[in-house]
Amino acid sequence: MTHVRIKMLIAGLVLIASVSYLAVAGVKSGWVYYLHVDDFVQDSTYQDRRVRLFGLVDTENVEVAPAMLTAKFDLQGESNSIPIHYQGVVPDTFKPGGEVMVEGKLDDAGIFQADTLMTKCASKYQSEEHAKRLEEAQ
């Protein structure tokens, strides 16, 4: 019986060690800071690495060329904004004034080169429209 116990203990330890290793490696490779555009502009520590930024699409200077698979716009925070060059399929839900999330890195020219663009909604289950209506009903 103890023999089996020892074997199981060793197997358990090996499993825990390998999973911890996997977890650390996984976190390392998946590690992306998630910042608001204001925090990113103000704090230079994040400017030389790959980050995920969120903010609003400025209503002016939005250039979308779906056939060229590019979108150029300014990502706006409360006090700062940053120019974004995005390369890829522009999501259907992308619109000026909307809340978006981009992932990429700042280049030397001060332009944020993004390869991921996601439109963000507060909750999948609650449409803004419905929230407005509910207020109206109060």
Partner 1 sequence: MNGLIGNLSLAVAVLTAAGALFTAVAAAKFQDDRMLRWSRRLLYLMGLAITVGSAALMSAMVNSDFHNAYVASYTERALPMGYKIAAFWAGQEGSLMLWTLLLVGMTAIAAHGFRNRERIEQSAMLGVLALVCGFFSALMLFAANPFVQLPAQAVDGHGLNPLLQDPYMIAHPPLLFVGYAGYTIPWAMLLAALIAGRKDNQWIGATRKWLMVSWLFLTVGIILGAKWAYIELGWGGYWAWDPVENASLLPWLTGTALLHSVMVQQHRGMFKIWNASLIAVTFLLCIFGTYLTRSGVVQSVHSFGESVIGTFFLVFLAVCVLLSIVVVVIRRQLLKSEDTVQGMMTREGAFMVLNVLLVLMTLATLVGTIFPLISGAVMPQPVTVGAAFYNKVVIPLSLVLLAVMSVGPLLSYGKGAGQQLIKSLIVPGIAAAISVVVALALGMTDLWALACTVITVVAVCSVGVGLTRSVRQRRKIEDEGPLTATLRVIDANHRRYGGQFVHMGVVMLMVGVAGSSLFGVKQTFQLAPGESAGFNDEYTITFGGLNQTRQSNYTSVEAHVTLTTLGETGDTGGTGGAGQTLHPEMRFYDKSEQPSAQVALNSSLSRDAYVTLAGWEDDGQLVALQVIVNPLIAWIWIGGIVMTLGAIFSLLPRLVKATARAGCPATAAKDQPHAHAPATVSLGLAGEGRCESQIQTTTTTQYAEAPK
**Site residues (vs partner 1, CB under 8 A):** 1, 4, 7-8, 11-12, 15, 19, 22-23, 25-27, 29-35, 39, 46, 52, 65-69, 89-90, 92-95, 120-127, 129-130, 133-134, 136-137
Distances (CA, A) of 23 to 16, 19, 20, 26, 122: 10, 6, 5, 5, 29
What are 69's two structure tokens? 């698979």
- Provide the 10 A C-beta neighbour count for residue 82: 20
CB of 76 to partner 1, least distance (A): 17
Q: 46 vs 62, which CB is nearer to partner 1?
A: 46
Counting Cβ atoms within 10 Å, is residue 39 exposed (0-12), middle (13-18) or buried (19+)?
Answer: middle
CB of 18 to partner 1, least distance (A): 8
Q: 67 vs 109, which CB is nearer to partner 1?
A: 67
Distance CA 50, CA 114 (A): 9
CB of 68 to partner 1, least distance (A): 7
Q: 36 vs 108, which CB is nearer to partner 1?
A: 36
